[in-house]
């Protein structure tokens, strides 16, 4: 009888130690901190392929998102799409907005529906999906001497026109990076691809946001122009 | 003994409930896409009915573990499923899960095949693993998520995939490769009934763990039992209610044994108000 009790107690003890060990391992071991995110898992987010508005930074997005698909179901324009295992790998099931197929119109419905805080509720003006970059070699208005055109499409189409996109005295558009939301309406409606020399290239691309690199983008722009 | 009349069987209500849940989950992409009614969004990873949000416990915990970040709506959304699991055990698996509905449907369809139908309908369980395997599945799942650093069950959970594939089909007119997982889970039913749910489902393991001290249990009345053991053969989880195993962690309260018992020896009771806790291993047979 005593031996049985002893065995039972030993089992209990083993169970408790194993449980504590496992729970400790679970909370402490996190190899994602040690690996280099650029080499291990490459995020499919790139130029013109962006996260929905209000998204947290890309390193934490796939960790927080539980792939419930509510943002895509609620989107009235059906512009939110999802990666699958072919295109996304570990990121499969997370939402994205392909600006060239359909831009985000900033209705801000998806933001209020996210259950895990991967899309944080915010005002329209505070959205930072990316930053629009104008390629001045391709833009028809910047190449006025060659094309003789003066389109103001991006300026008139922007939801924050006059704030995020401004035009100078020659009606050439330029972007104020501080206020650009990266919704991609300007890139979607750019008419530069119809000019025969451009071969279907659009003048505006939306770069996914990396706040450190914005100064570099400005420098590149200056070099190009 | 006569069988219970149609509407007095609990399983009929269970099938109806399963069908309603399935229609809600599969139907909400259609309402969202074609009529822009956003009343119900999402599926069993996180479903939103109006302003009521429900977040599946395992997925919520995984996202908290990997991101190390607490978000109030997700914690509040986990309250309802956790309380349900604490009170009634793995009731989600047997009464709501779309995989359970689909496997019941496939069972029916296989039963209709002329030659093999009867054999498939009354098939024995080919693979029998120790029941503890369920906990290993949960621990392995959590360990893998922590090692990789991204939540895993959120994309391969079969009940979630049922909703996601229908959404993909309705919204983008194509289906992804992940549907193979759902088909595989359904085909594994041929080897053993609910093989995946029994031994491999981490979500089922969490719910079972929460419902260890559940209140709603199936009480086994030894004085009424004749010892025919119909309940043992009928139980889809492969446990033996005739030995009093219906009060263990592995029972998912599907009430198949309650309906099949000819002498009403098995019944739903609240654990506190129930007569006695039956010690497993004791079988009484009436004289």
Domain range annotation of chain A = 49-124, 128-224
Q: Which residues contact A220 (CB under 8 A, 6 or more apart)?
A: none
pLDDT tens-digit readout, B133-192? 888 888 888 888 887 778 888 888 898 889 888 988 988 888 888 888 999 998 888 888
Is residue B127 very low, low, confident or very high in pLDDT (cuts 50, 70, 90)?
Answer: confident
Would you say residue B120 has pLDDT above 80? Answer: no
Contacts of A33-40 with CB under 8 Å at 24 or more apart are: A33/B149, A35/B149
What are the phi and psi torsion angles at B269 (to 5°)? Answer: -140, 165
Task: Give mean pLDDT, residues B266-286.
Answer: 58
Is residue A211 very low, low, confident or very high in pLDDT (cuts 50, 70, 90)?
Answer: very low
Can you give the pLDDT at residue B276? 47
Each domain of chain B, given as residue ranges in start order, spans: 6-210, 215-270
Can you give the pLDDT at residue A40? 47
Indicate the DSSP class of residue A43: -
> Which residue in A has a C-alpha nearest to residue B150's C-alpha?
A63
**Better pLDDT: B127 or B283:** B127
Facing residue for B154 by CB, picked from A35, A41, A66: A66
pLDDT tens-digit readout, A138-173? 888 888 888 888 888 888 888 888 888 888 888 888
- Judged by DSSP in three states, A9 sits in helix
Q: Do B154 and A93 touch (CB under 8 A)?
A: yes
Question: Which residues of A are less than 8 Å from B48 in CB distance?
Answer: 70, 113, 115
A49-124: CATH, from 3.30.70.3420, 3.30.160.340, 3.40.1710.10, 3.30.70.20: 3.30.70.20
Is residue B286 very low, low, confident or very high in pLDDT (cuts 50, 70, 90)?
Answer: very low
pLDDT tens-digit readout, A55-72? 888 878 888 888 888 888
Can you give the pLDDT at residue A41? 61
Q: Is there a contact between A59 and A36 (Cβ–Cβ < 8 Å)?
A: no
Q: Residue B72 and residue B41: Cα distance in Å, rounded? A: 19
Q: Do B28 and A81 touch (CB under 8 A)?
A: no
If we measure between CA atoms, which residue out of B83, B64, B85 comes closest to residue B73?
B64
Q: Is there a contact between A109 and A100 (Cβ–Cβ < 8 Å)?
A: no
A128-224: CATH, from 3.40.50.1820, 1.10.10.10, 3.30.70.20, 3.40.50.1100: 3.30.70.20
Question: How many CB atoms neighbour CB A21 within 10 A?
Answer: 10
Is residue B275 very low, low, confident or very high in pLDDT (cuts 50, 70, 90)?
Answer: very low
Would you say residue A38 has pLDDT above 50? Answer: no
CATH number of the structural domain B215-270: 3.30.70
User: Fold match between A49-124 and A128-224?
Assistant: yes
Can you give the pLDDT at residue A205? 87
Q: Is there a contact between B150 and B220 (Cβ–Cβ < 8 Å)?
A: no
Can you give the pLDDT at residue A213? 46
Q: Residue A105 and residue A116: Cα distance in Å, rounded? A: 23
Q: Residue B116 and residue A158: Cα distance in Å, rounded? A: 65
Q: Residue B75 and residue B54: Cα distance in Å, rounded? A: 9
Number of A:B CB contacts under 8 A?
A: 136
Would you say residue B11 has pLDDT above 80? Answer: yes
pLDDT, chain A, mean: 79
DSSP string computed for B96-135: T-HHHHHHHHHHHHHHTSTTTHHHHHT---S----TTHHH
Question: Which residues of A are less than 8 Å from B28 in CB distance?
Answer: 73
Question: Which residues of B are less than 8 Å from A35 in CB distance?
Answer: 149
CA B128 to chain CA centroid, Å, is: 18
Residue to substitute from A18, A82, A107, A116, interface B, most B β-carbons within 10 A: A116
Can you give the pLDDT at residue A219? 52
If we measure between CA atoms, which residue out of B93, B116, B129, B48 comes closest to residue B211?
B93
Helix (H), strand (E) at residue B16: helix B10-34
């Amino acid at each position: 009888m005593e031996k049985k009790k002893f065995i039972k107690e030993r089992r209990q003890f083993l169970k408790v130690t194993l449980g504590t060990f496992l729970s400790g391992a679970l909370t402490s071991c996190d190899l994602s901190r040690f690996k280099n995110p650029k080499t291990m898992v490459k995020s499919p987010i790139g130029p013109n392929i962006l996260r929905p508005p209000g998204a947290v930074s890309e390193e934490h997005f796939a960790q927080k998102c539980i792939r419930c698909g509510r943002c895509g179901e609620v989107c009235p324009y059906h512009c939110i799409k999802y990666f699958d295992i072919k295109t996304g790998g570990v990121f499969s099931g997370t939402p994205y907005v392909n600006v060239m197929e359909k831009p985000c119109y900033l209705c801000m419905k998806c933001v209020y529906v996210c259950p895990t805080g991967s899309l944080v509720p915010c005002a329209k003006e505070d959205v930072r999906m990316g930053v629009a970059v104008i390629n001045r070699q391709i833009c028809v208005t910047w190449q006025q001497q060659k094309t003789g055109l003066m389109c103001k499409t991006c300026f008139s189409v922007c939801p924050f026109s006059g704030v995020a996109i401004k035009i100078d005295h020659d009606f050439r558009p330029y972007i104020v990076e501080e206020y650009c939301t990266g919704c991609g309406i300007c890139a979607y409606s750019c008419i530069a691809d119809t000019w025969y020399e451009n071969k279907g290239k659009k003048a505006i691309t939306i770069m996914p946001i990396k706040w450190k690199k914005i100064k570099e983008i400005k420098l590149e722009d200056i070099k190009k122009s | 003994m006569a069988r219970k009349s149609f509407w007095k069987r609990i399983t009929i209500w269970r099938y109806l409930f399963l069908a309603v849940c399935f229609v809600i989950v599969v139907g909400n992409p259609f309402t969202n896409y074609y009529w822009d009614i956003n009343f119900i969004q999402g599926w069993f990873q996180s479903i939103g009915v109006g302003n009521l949000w429900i977040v599946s416990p395992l997925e919520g915990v995984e996202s908290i573990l990997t991101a190390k970040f607490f978000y109030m709506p997700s914690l509040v959304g986990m309250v309802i499923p956790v309380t349900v699991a604490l009170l009634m055990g793995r009731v989600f698996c047997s009464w709501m899960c779309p995989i359970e509905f689909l496997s019941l449907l496939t069972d029916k369809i296989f039963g209709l095949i002329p030659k093999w139908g009867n054999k498939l309908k009354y098939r024995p369980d080919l693979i029998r693993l120790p029941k503890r395997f369920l906990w290993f599945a949960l621990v392995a799942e959590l360990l893998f998520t922590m090692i990789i650093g991204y939540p895993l069950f959120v994309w391969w959970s079969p009940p979630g995939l049922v909703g996601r594939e229908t959404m993909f089909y309705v919204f983008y007119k194509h289906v992804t490769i992940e549907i193979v997982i759902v088909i595989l889970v359904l085909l594994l039913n041929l080897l053993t009934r609910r093989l995946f749910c029994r031994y491999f489902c981490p979500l089922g393991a969490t719910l079972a763990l929460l419902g260890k001290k559940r209140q709603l249990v199936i009480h086994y009345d030894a004085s009424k039992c004749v010892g025919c053991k119909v309940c043992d053969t009928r139980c889809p989880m492969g446990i033996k209610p005739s030995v009093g195993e219906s009060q263990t962690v592995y029972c998912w309260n599907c009430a198949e044994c309650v309906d099949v018992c000819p002498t009403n020896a098995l019944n739903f009771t609240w654990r506190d108000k129930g007569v006695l806790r039956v010690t497993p291993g004791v079988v009484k047979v009436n004289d």
